[in-house]
Structure 1
């Protein structure tokens, strides 16, 4: 009996294998895992207040320094009986908010100064380059410690302070790319049509250099996370009762031998998050760089 012409034909197994192989070749496994981890971190940061089993200041004195696997506290408790999992979820939110806000500030300030240097050559360009050299030569951690010790620590101040980290990279990149783009035909054609310099830079040049700036942001983001963690570890970052990843590591170091889970949980999140961002950033750099392709 002949089969019906309307019966669906099953594609060969080799076709599925070829499609899966092509997909894997486009996105390596390490990059896929990094993206999945970062997506999970963003989801936790958004939904932290809904999935935290306890408040970050709620104390269970009958279960002080309880180890992981406790029926009521999956990741254990700290020296005051506070749930480590709840504090870890809130710490992820706070650290990501600080890192994201600081990265945006750094990128905006650096890109704007780079465009100014490319637009107004001469004294303005020299001033921007001198400031960039000064910023690159200044030990940022020491400057941050001095500012926070003098003015005190607060969330807005910490975000703004971290926002000045790495702006000179964006300024140099934006200046070089803007000068190169201005010498090309499309920028000159838009100028001849009567477009203002602001429109030329932000509507025509910026979209063409955005890929390079985005890759730079992925490389600066983990550095800001580590910088904030270092400041919180030294006691000048996020202040109690609020918590961050570095804050948890700083308070947990005193119990490293008796209750290591207090410090190891946030330290693991810091390590995997920065590693994931670096892997994804390197992959984006290779994918978005036309010379590599």
Structure 2
């Protein structure tokens, strides 16, 4: 499913014959046909073309936001787990404060303060999501930093920075990879939700949440306007969730042992 989505993002705009921004009022609110497989919207724009270009917007935001979360959360968790002491206490209390607030509500508040735009939406989603990575990375570092090979590196006067990068960072790659994959679907859903209420992409940007918002006014007469982006969101979120579960099972030694016994 994720592979199909990737092909749509890369090759879709070259295959779709229509311009997602082109208005054709004579063709407004036409149902699915050979010329327009997913129909047209209230301005006569091809829904399939807007859906394909919207995939680029939604996935681009998801990848960028997740990357920022991963980098920030990994750095904070690595420093907190390895340095310990007062640094660990301060950083983890900051994480606890952020985790005390529902992520989507906090993102809604931040996006509302900054103003409606894709850039502000990405800032809001990145700010509220890094704390989970910090907790996961810190837990992995605490379980690894007392092992013999880390102690041996300390005895030979290896610098803290080199120990963190060479010995501690590899231990957090697997859990972070699983969490990031699952987060991609969550960010796509959050982006669509915030855009739906007007805090994300602004018309005429072809974004799935914005498409559902504009199509909701015609849902009784033009069901395809909300059905197409809704199915796309569901397909994307389900694909990333299944991929994350598959990666987690593949990287879990206990699960691999059970498969070998079977």
TM range (shorter): over 0.9
Quote the residue 1:8 is aligned against: none
Q: How far off its partner does 1:60 sit?
A: 1.6
Quote the residue 1:222 is aligned against: 185
SS in 2 for 1:292: helix
Check if 1:189 corresponds to 2:152: yes
Quote the residue 1:22 is aligned against: none
Q: Tell me the TM-score normalized by structure 1.
A: 0.83
Cα deviation 1:67-86 (Å, max 9, x = unaligned): 11x23211100011000011
Q: Note if contact 2:107-2:128 (Cα within 8 Å) is conserved in structure 1.
A: no
Cα deviation 1:183-212 (Å, max 9, x = unaligned): 111222222333221221122221222111
Quote the residue 2:170 is aligned against: 207
Q: Note if contact 1:103-1:217 (Cα within 8 Å) is conserved in structure 2.
A: yes
- CA distance, structure 1, for counterparts of residue 119 and residue 166 of structure 2: 30
Quote the residue 2:7 is aligned against: 43
- CA distance, structure 1, for counterparts of residue 16 and residue 120 of structure 2: 27
- Aligned residues: CA RMSD: 1.5
Cα deviation 1:199-237 (Å, max 9, x = unaligned): 211222212221111011112221111111110111111
Q: Note if contact 2:69-2:130 (Cα within 8 Å) is conserved in structure 1.
A: yes
Check if 1:52 corresponds to 2:16: yes
Check if 1:155 corresponds to 2:118: yes
Q: How far off its partner does 1:268 sit?
A: 0.4
- Structure 1, unaligned runs of 5 or more: 1-36
- CA distance, structure 1, for counterparts of residue 159 and residue 12 of structure 2: 45
Q: How far off its partner does 1:48 sit?
A: 4.1
- CA distance, structure 2, for counterparts of residue 84 and residue 278 of structure 1: 26
1:115-134 matches, cutoff 5 A: 115-134=78-97
Q: How far off its partner does 1:242 sit?
A: 1.1
Q: Does the C-alpha gap of structure 1 residues 274 and 119 become closer, same or farther in structure 2, counting only changes over 3 Å?
A: same
Q: How far off its partner does 1:114 sit?
A: 0.4
Q: Note if contact 2:249-2:255 (Cα within 8 Å) is conserved in structure 1.
A: yes
1:1-293 matches, cutoff 5 A: 37-68=1-32, 70-293=33-256
- CA distance, structure 1, for counterparts of residue 128 and residue 253 of structure 2: 28
Cα deviation 1:110-156 (Å, max 9, x = unaligned): 11100111122122111121111111111333332333233222333
Q: Note if contact 2:81-2:88 (Cα within 8 Å) is conserved in structure 1.
A: yes
Kindly tell me the number of residue pairs found equivalent between the two proteins. Answer: 256
Following TM superposition, the consecutive aligned residue runs of length 4 or more in structure 1 with deviations greater than 4 angstroms are none
Q: Tell me the TM-score normalized by structure 2.
A: 0.92
Q: Note if contact 1:165-1:224 (Cα within 8 Å) is conserved in structure 2.
A: no
Name the stretch that deviates more: 161-170 or 59-68: 161-170
